[in-house]
Chains A and B, each alone.
Chain A
Amino acid sequence: AQKVTQAQTEISVVEKEDVTLDCVYETRDTTYYLFWYKQPPSGELVFLIRRNSFDEQNEISGRYSWNFQKSTSSFNFTITASQVVDSAVYFCAPYGQNFVFGPGTRLSVLP
């Protein structure tokens, strides 16, 4: 069985603060992809990042960075210097044969 946990239901930060979104993915699969998606009020899911389960190298892309630790099944996503436009619901979504979305974390960035 697969289980995706995003323990943070809602987060509010002030603009320019850094914010980390937590995700824990429990599975018996040894190979899978991990995605983060952003869903603004318009409803469309916007692709942010994708990582392979066998690649634990942490990366930074612009204001986004991610920390993947297979030993703890955690796949956390950090936004540096947050902006008001970052306000959205963020989903952690492992992909094996189809997406299994977490419950989402609503991020509000206040001016």
Chain B
Amino acid sequence: DAGVTQSPTHLIKTRGQQVTLRCSPKSGHDTVSWYQQALGQGPQFIFQYYEEEERQRGNFPDRFSGHQFPNYSSELNVNALLLGDSALYLCASSQWDRLFGIYGYTFGSGTRLTVV
């Protein structure tokens, strides 16, 4: 059973460009969350998608946007890239249960984005 799959694994972009990162959740999971992890720091929550809608958002500018598709996969888009956007972007999938909330949280290996 495949876990969380992220693509690409590495990416180099130029400042000002736009980038799209992709995430396929673990089988049976319907919720996708994205995190940004700068070098030497802990991951920071960007946003979470459920039923194709953004359900929660962390303290990130509007340059960061996302989408969730009917098959639960998700994309993270970053516009007008800055040097400070260089980081490891982690996707996590989970299952939402109305009684128990979120469970089964599983992280992918991440996409390492370098902005030059």
Q: Give me the interface of A with B, judged by CB distance under 8 Å.
A: 4, 35, 37, 42-45, 47, 91, 93, 95, 97-104
* Dominant secondary structure at the B interface: strand
Assess the B58–A43 pair: CB atoms within 8 A: no
Given A43-B88, A45-B90, does the pair A101, B42 have CB atoms closer than 8 Å? yes
- A43: chain B residues at CB < 8 Å are 88, 90, 109-110, 112
Q: How far is the CB of B94 from chain A (nearest CB, A)?
A: 10
- B107: chain A residues at CB < 8 Å are 37, 44-45
- A95: chain B residues at CB < 8 Å are 102, 105
* Dominant secondary structure at the A interface: loop
Q: Give me the interface of B with A, judged by CB distance under 8 Å.
A: 33, 35, 41-45, 48, 56, 58, 88, 90, 92, 102, 105-110, 112
- A103: chain B residues at CB < 8 Å are 41-42
Given A43-B112, A45-B90, A47-B105, does the pair A101, B56 have CB atoms closer than 8 Å? no
CA distance A95 to B108 in the complex (A): 18
Given A43-B88, A44-B108, A45-B107, does the pair A98, B58 have CB atoms closer than 8 Å? yes
